[in-house]
Amino acid sequence: MHKPDERGYFGDFGGRWVPEVLVAPLAEVEKAMNEAFGDPTYWEEFHALLSEYVGRPSALTVAHRFGQPRNATIAFKREDLNHTGAHKINNTIGQALLAKRMGKQRLIAETGAGQHGVAVATIGAKLGIPVDVYMGAVDVERQALNVYLMRLLGATVHPVTGGTQTLKDATNEAFRVWAAQCEDTFYVIGSVVGAHPYPFMVREFQRIVCDDGRIQSQGRFGRLPTDIVACVGGGSNALGIFTAFIDDDNVNLWGVEAAGKGTNTAETAAPLAVGSVGVLHGSRSFLLQTAEGQVKPTHSISAGLDYPGVGPEHAYLKQSGRAKYVAVTDDEALAAFHACAASEGIIAALESAHALAYAQQLAKERGEEGLIVVCMSGRGDKDVTQIEKLDGKALVAEVTG
Amino acid sequence: MHKPDERGYFGDFGGRWVPEVLVAPLAEVEKAMNEAFGDPTYWEEFHALLSEYVGRPSALTVAHRFGQPRNATIAFKREDLNHTGAHKINNTIGQALLAKRMGKQRLIAETGAGQHGVAVATIGAKLGIPVDVYMGAVDVERQALNVYLMRLLGATVHPVTGGTQTLKDATNEAFRVWAAQCEDTFYVIGSVVGAHPYPFMVREFQRIVCDDGRIQSQGRFGRLPTDIVACVGGGSNALGIFTAFIDDDNVNLWGVEAAGKGTNTAETAAPLAVGSVGVLHGSRSFLLQTAEGQVKPTHSISAGLDYPGVGPEHAYLKQSGRAKYVAVTDDEALAAFHACAASEGIIAALESAHALAYAQQLAKERGEEGLIVVCMSGRGDKDVTQIEKLDGKALVAEVTG
Amino acid sequence: MATLLDDAFAKAKKEDRCALIAYVVAGDPDMETTRAVLDAVVEAGADIIELGVPYGDPLADGPTIAAAGQRALAAGATLENIFRLIPGTKAPVVLFTYVNPVLQYGVEKFALAAKRHGAVGVIVPDVSLEELEPIREAIRKNGLIMPLLISPTTPDERAKKITQTSEGFNYIVSRLGVTGKDAVDVEGLKDHAARVRRMTGFPIAAGFGISKAPQIVAIRDSVDGVIVGSALVEAYASQKGAAAAAAGASRLVRLLRLACKRAAPAAAGAKG
Amino acid sequence: MATLLDDAFAKAKKEDRCALIAYVVAGDPDMETTRAVLDAVVEAGADIIELGVPYGDPLADGPTIAAAGQRALAAGATLENIFRLIPGTKAPVVLFTYVNPVLQYGVEKFALAAKRHGAVGVIVPDVSLEELEPIREAIRKNGLIMPLLISPTTPDERAKKITQTSEGFNYIVSRLGVTGKDAVDVEGLKDHAARVRRMTGFPIAAGFGISKAPQIVAIRDSVDGVIVGSALVEAYASQKGAAAAAAGASRLVRLLRLACKRAAPAAAGAKG
Ligand SMILES: Cc1ncc(COP(=O)(O)O)c(C=O)c1O
Ligand SMILES: Cc1ncc(COP(=O)(O)O)c(C=O)c1O
């Protein structure tokens, strides 16, 4: 299934589970999206910004030393080379252009660690549209640098003090603000989550990741990959790189969730692995919840994966079996982070390091014909201070020793 | 003059002013370079890494809002989008491949703020060649994050305690270490400085900046730029973007030095503006020196421009008048940094912000036909903490208010 | 059982006032307090109780109710003990709950338990018309009704469909945004109510942002009921102990209830 | 004046020893101390003085001499007052200076002043053969000589050219790298000396890393002179006050000077 049904469902998942105040704004976005998607000039502007501003197509880098010894080939799809250092910008450009088209005067966004917030602030600055970012007060505190970056880019950051004061609460708040101000305001959601049409719309913006990745793989290797590996927070980089391959049954699709301290512990962030079906932020999908239906606090070393829900299309791909989902712990991700830095000269985002960890394992199982493309969803400069605190040095010794 | 003479001179500047111990290693590099430069397979490998690993060609971005009101067009050549976030990597790849070809077992490098060190550590990791980086002890202290990055990438960082404990002393030390260990060691210099053949060799690696920039400008605008603006530390990004245009007399070339607190103060780093001819790090060029011929301490807000010397080819271009050199103060650079972030969504390196500041001024003088290409030599993520300390917020208010 | 609700609206109408619907967060800050508050509120004249099931991610609620929910959850509120508040409450009780706790509990099981404890209906603010049917079916099957919300941005055709589906009353949202005490555009609200009035014979109750007697005075002629939530939560949450909380809630409800009484025709200027 | 140098080597040869060339950094830590050290060193038996002009960026020097230079610069050493140290020094003085101070002072002016103060020559380590001519011309014109350096990596043909150009003596670098006290490969050094010996009749002096009597003992038969720098700087720099510094320097020079004396043929085992 490539498009959700008209109610926004991928199989059993998705939909529009929102208060009535949000129905009209969502319908307005859906209508504008459908018009824009049918308009070649819209896509031209999108692709022009991606190539001239973001620097697309992003490179495909063969990793010669990472994860050796192994037989299979590993290549990285380098979203870390994008302007602002992650795949997030692909999506924010698409939405900001839509907002412009709709005549909206302001962009709002939720952000966790600040990656999406920075990406929205960036395109807001570029297009001259004011940006307000909602961010959990706890996150504001611990991601001070990204907060400052957003301010440099001219955005206003609003600390959210409700709930757990983290990403899910920032998302709640952004929805609330949007409900109140939808007339002149566009809500830029940061992943393939939220109510219809967001999961579909964000995917369509992110599929550029594999649309050019597919071309490159054929040009470079004369064939398609055997395996695609991507980390899954909300799931946008994963769908970005999965989508063009969805009909190629021989291409295995792997989504890697954050196991945190382990999927058998409370400190985890892997809804597809250990969550259950429910409703969060406007759509039906897997989420981590209590027996009472309260959303659980999550944990992952990587802020971008530290989210209790997951995009509905992933729930569908899991159910249909088209994609497989695995989970990687904090420690495994850290080890892969270090191995990649030391063997490939690439400081990966901790999010992407989850995909690396699984790819490393897969590459040992696959034979010579294996061709594993990993989505390097972002660069890890943002994570280095945190990793240094975790005494990276000891880990480097472990990895390389 | 496109090539130095056989003694390594660009007009009156350059040469090989080194202790005899360094003459043989330099001759060995020169010989290997000449061979490699004549070998298409060498360039193939170079270009493959640049496209598949670094992500070249780097984008050319038209800046619609920066520096308005103005008539002229401004475009940024986006070296900030390169892997590791600056033009530096172009050069380190060229040199590392040469080292590999020469069978050297180890790379050494000097670094100031750590940018070049990170770029060398990166390609060392990628190619599996051990890297030792020499860095002034004062710089090690104030650039702790880059030091940690280099370690993550597997390099060993050696604090240099001699002299002013900054870049020039790190360079001295790297030369000394090379003298002692030249047999198995390749010295990767970070800019178009040092003894022949380095200024020429580094330029040949960096000219990729404009070789693709030239193509893009013609493709995008149907014509060449009227003006090229680049910051000048050692001068490698500037020569990188100047070189392909050197015979196009209608293209004005502007090198922007760091005036620091002002070229009329002692806290400056603008040898072409207020220095005099002398010898530093093996070549004859302009430098900041006392009446007694001692190298002066310098100051610039931007670590990458905080160097008392400048590549000999710039001295030649200044003398011949082919390029013009101007200087921009810390405050002007900071203001341009903020303006660019808020109007284009690009956090520029403070080095590049010097070029931005001058381009902004130039764009007001030029008419409609003006087409100013600025070398965005690097991204400014590395500078944000420092700028925050300088109370960027007050400055944002000044710039946008 | 829906007749209990009808009765309440009918009684208010007979007394020439709009009905007062009091929203209370169950278990905030503990069950004992809620018990006392419910009793006080009914005693003070609330016609209907909206009993809020605390939820950690309440998309439709502002900071006051969200914080109340957090307090209730922290104190260990569960659906089981929330249900137990219903039987002793001497006014019709409509549960107000986000959908996820219901789904997780099981919709059938939820409806059955709510019914058994004496609830008359359930409002689920984040189930849009499009998602409604299977849930409504389970709820109705167990003899509960589902009032639906209509927003000022809801287009006419859709609003009509909602009024045709809504049971008990039509919950009209007084403004864009969420619950809370920020200003309400009274003229806009009256237009909104008039629009819905043209679509349905069922009672109309307005909520979101109704917090003060003068607001009620201004709109009481346009609606059949007003829903007071955040203001009531503040009135009891600022007090220490169950008794003081009950007294605080009681004071506010008495005041608002007075405002619900429509003026004699002579003073009908307030109608315009 | 170059004869003063020739005389010094000739005298050492006559006494069957290699000449001892003492490198002192001018102005470290002040001019008074250097004065005392120079006197003490000459008194203790140094045949030739290499007077180092302090420089902030000494590419050919290790940490000891670099730090000495920093101290001298911090204390305000200038070429003018460095020149003034020469006349009172009772041994031939060769200045050792990096090129930039010379260029900035003016090569002609520098040579003239050095000559006038009584220097016999000047070593400029960072002027390679390729850059030499214009500078050498100015130096020679003023009656000074320029000894040149030959490194172990200098290819034969180039080494030959250097020996043909070098005046006074051939300064052979005892190892790769810079001045300092780290180990010297004695066998390599002897080969290097022998190679140069085959090219020239001029004296050969070895420097860089010569710091201990046993090293001198090991090489004294292969060279005409040894240059001691870092070890000497350490010997006086660790002392407090000019007198103590002079005594420290004197102690070391006496010891090394003993080592310079070639053994009687019977003890020639050290030659191998
Ligand atoms: C670099 C990077 N990768 C991955 C993610 C996870 O998001 P998604 O699963 O939507 O790609 C994030 C989120 O911030 C991110 O910054
Ligand atoms: C981003 C950036 N730009 C410019 C420079 C200055 O070097 P060059 O003048 O050699 O380009 C540096 C040096 O570190 C740099 O990091």
> Which residue in chain A has the smallest CA separation from B84?
A346
pLDDT of the residue at A399: 44
Please state the rounded mean pLDDT for residues D174-201: 87
User: Are B320 and B48 within 8 A, CB to CB?
Assistant: no
Verify that B235 and B350 share a domain, yes or no: yes
CA dist C56 and C31 (Å) reads: 18
Verify that B225 and B292 share a domain, yes or no: yes
Largest CA distance in chain C: 54
Closest CB to D154 among B23, B175, B290: B23
**Domain extent listing, chain C:** 4-260
- pLDDT category, C179, cuts 50, 70, 90? confident
Q: Residue with the nearest Cα to atom 7 of ligand 2?
A: B233
pLDDT of the residue at A397: 47
Please state the rounded mean pLDDT for residues B358-378: 97
Question: Is residue C1 pLDDT above 50, yes or no?
Answer: no
CATH fold of the domain at D4-260:
TIM Barrel (3.20.20)
Considering only CA atoms, which of D50, D49, D68 is closest in space to residue D58?
D68
pLDDT of the residue at B192: 98
Considering only CA atoms, which of B214, B224, B229 is closest in space to residue B359?
B229
Verify that A359 and A321 share a domain, yes or no: yes
Q: Catalytic pick from D28, D61, D224, D234?
A: D61
Higher pLDDT, A145 or A329: A329
Cis peptide before B197 (omega within 30 of 0): yes
To the nearest whole percent, how much of chain C has pLDDT over 70? 96
Question: Is residue B219 pLDDT above 90, yes or no?
Answer: no
Verify that A149 and A284 share a domain, yes or no: no
Enter the pTM of the model.
0.95
Average pLDDT along chain B: 95
CA dist A309 and A295 (Å) reads: 9
To the nearest whole percent, how much of chain B has pLDDT over 70? 97
pLDDT of the residue at C270: 43
- Report how many domains make up chain B: 2
- pLDDT category, B48, cuts 50, 70, 90? very high
B234 within ligand 2 shell (Cβ under 6 A): yes
pLDDT of the residue at D119: 97
Please state the rounded mean pLDDT for residues C76-91: 97
CA D167 to chain centre: 14
Asked about D47 being catalytic, the answer comes back as no
Asked about D61 being catalytic, the answer comes back as yes
Q: What is the ipTM of this complex?
A: 0.94
Choosing from A180, A202, A224, the residue where a domain stops is A202
Question: Is residue B42 pLDDT above 50, yes or no?
Answer: yes
Question: Is residue B373 pLDDT above 70, yes or no?
Answer: yes
Distance from CA of D180 to the nearest CA of B (A): 11
- Ligand with an atom nearest the CA of residue A349: 1
Evaluate whether residue B280 is within a structural domain.
yes
What region does A56 belong to: left with phi over 0, alpha with psi -120 to 50, or beta?
beta
Candidate from A29-33, A211-215, A278-282, C89-93 with smallest mean pLDDT? A211-215
Evaluate whether residue B226 is within a structural domain.
yes
Question: Is residue B253 pLDDT above 90, yes or no?
Answer: yes
Verify that A149 and A26 share a domain, yes or no: yes
To the nearest whole percent, how much of chain A has pLDDT over 90? 91
Average pLDDT along chain C: 93
CA dist D13 and C213 (Å) reads: 117
Please state the rounded mean pLDDT for residues C186-196: 94
CA dist A386 and D30 (Å) reads: 49
CA dist B117 and B149 (Å) reads: 9
Verify that A256 and A147 share a domain, yes or no: no
User: Both tokens of residue C218?
Assistant: 């201004």
Considering only CA atoms, which of B142, B141, B86, B152 is closest in space to residue B119?
B86
Considering only CA atoms, which of C210, C190, C193 is closest in space to residue C253?
C210
Please state the rounded mean pLDDT for residues A145-150: 94
Question: Is residue B370 pLDDT above 60, yes or no?
Answer: yes
Domain holding A154, by residue range, is 17-51+88-202
Candidate from A20-29, A177-186, B158-167, D174-183 with smallest mean pLDDT? D174-183
Residues 138 through 167 of chain A touching chain B, CB cutoff 8 Å: 145, 148-149, 151-154
Query: Which CATH number belongs to the domain containing residue A120 in this structure?
Result: 3.40.50.1100
Evaluate whether residue A109 is within a structural domain.
yes
- Ligand with an atom nearest the CA of residue B189: 2
Q: What is the DSSP letter of A22?
A: H
DSSP assignment of C57-112:
S-TT--HHHHHHHHHHHHTT--HHHHHTTSTT-SS-EEEE--HHHHHHH-HHHHHH
Please state the rounded mean pLDDT for residues B268-281: 98
Which pLDDT tens digit goes with each residue over A62-107? 999 999 999 999 999 999 999 999 999 999 999 999 999 999 999 9
Please state the rounded mean pLDDT for residues B174-181: 94
Distance from CA of D150 to the nearest CA of B (A): 6
Considering only CA atoms, which of B7, B9, B15 is closest in space to residue B282?
B15
Verify that A369 and A280 share a domain, yes or no: yes
Evaluate whether residue A12 is within a structural domain.
no
B349 within ligand 2 shell (Cβ under 6 A): yes
> Subunits touching C (CB < 8 Å, at least 3 pairs)?
A
Question: Is residue B55 pLDDT above 90, yes or no?
Answer: yes
Choosing from B202, B222, B242, the residue where a domain stops is B202
Interface test with C, best of A292, A295, A296, A307 (most C CBs within 10 A): A292
Interface of C with A (CB under 8 A): 55-60, 62-63, 66-67, 70, 73, 78-79, 99-105, 125-131, 148-151, 153-155, 158, 162, 173, 175-178
- According to DSSP, the β-strands at A9-10 and B73-78 are unpaired
Closest CB to A65 among B128, B338, B385: B128
Question: Is residue D182 pLDDT above 80, yes or no?
Answer: no
Interface test with A, best of C107, C128, C150, C181 (most A CBs within 10 A): C128
Choosing from A202, A231, A264, the residue where a domain stops is A202
Higher pLDDT, C209 or B90: B90
The residue to which tokens 């990285």 are assigned? A76
Please state the rounded mean pLDDT for residues D7-29: 97
Please state the rounded mean pLDDT for residues B130-147: 93
The residue to which tokens 């019709």 are assigned? C92
Evaluate whether residue A261 is within a structural domain.
yes
Which pLDDT tens digit goes with each residue over A314-371? 999 999 999 999 999 999 999 999 999 999 999 999 999 999 999 999 999 999 999 9
- Ligand with an atom nearest the CA of residue A352: 1
